[in-house]
Amino acid sequence: MEAAGISPEPLVCLRARDLLHTVIVGHDGAAALITEVEAYNGPDDPASHAYTRTPRSTMMYGPPDRLYVYRIHGHHCANVVTSPEGEGAAVLLRAGRIVAGHAQARARRGDVADHLLGRGPGNLARALGITMADLATELTDPRGVHLAGSRAGGGPPAGVGVGPRVGVRLAADRPWRFWVPGEPSVSAYRRHRAAVGDDR
């Protein structure tokens, strides 16, 4: 019997919330205020690449504040490893508002409206110039792609939107997506066509 058991959010969700309204600096001066993220909880999350442990996913089990990049549909997606060594949790950067280097971002993305430059994980990565070459980048090292030390959006967001992750097939109902309400750069929810929930 579930005694009013609202399952507590894993730590990675708190880290995901923390990343909102922080700035990620990409290549050639392009930078984005993070407005939408998703949490992936390693071995306890069927939707995570770390669910099966391989030489590749081992990187996610490594030290935090490193960049995990993967390809999908010919695009790249950027994740931040957030957990201490051994846990394999990471946060997908789903959207951001370009706050610097608009010209560079637009050169890579094409001539689109500002709020569309970093809308969606593939677009955000492209706007920032992130590719597989940036895999395992130290996000604390200002020489390359990195996270700004502190929030530059005027502080933490007033409220945070919460909902299920976009486009995942497995564990589709876990509300581990977080976004800044009112941000036009946040993408709409799209459920996977063959989405499957958890059995627990």
Partner DNA sequence: GTTTAGATCAACT
Partner DNA sequence: GTTGATCTAAACG
Q: Is 102 in the site for DNA (CB under 7 A)?
A: no
Q: Which 119-158 positions form the footprint of DNA (CB under 7 A)? A: 120-123, 132, 135
Burial label, 113 (beta-carbon count in 10 A; 0-12, 13-18, 19+): exposed
Q: Is 100 in the site for DNA (CB under 7 A)?
A: no
One residue of 22, 35, 48, 82 binding DNA per CB under 7 A: 48
Q: Which 3-32 positions form the footprint of DNA (CB under 7 A)? A: none
One residue of 29, 63, 71, 197 binding DNA per CB under 7 A: 71
**Identity of the residue, 6 or 132, whose beta carbon is nearer to DNA in the bound complex:** 132
Q: How big is the chain by its Cα radius of gyration, in Å?
A: 16
CA–CA separation, 47 vs 40, rounded Å? Answer: 7
**Identity of the residue, 101 or 167, whose beta carbon is nearer to DNA in the bound complex:** 167
CA–CA separation, 198 vs 29, rounded Å? Answer: 41
Q: Is 200 in the site for DNA (CB under 7 A)?
A: no
**Identity of the residue, 52 or 140, whose beta carbon is nearer to DNA in the bound complex:** 52
Are 118 and 95 in contact, with CB atoms under 8 Å apart?
Answer: yes
**b/e per residue 177-198 (b: at least 16 CB within 10 A):** bbbbeebebbbeeeeeeebeee
CA dihedral 76, 154, 81, 198 (to 10 degrees): -80
Residues that bind DNA in the complex, under the rule CB under 7 A:
38, 40, 47-49, 52, 54-57, 68, 70-75, 77, 79, 90, 92, 94, 109, 116, 120-123, 132, 135, 165-170, 187-194
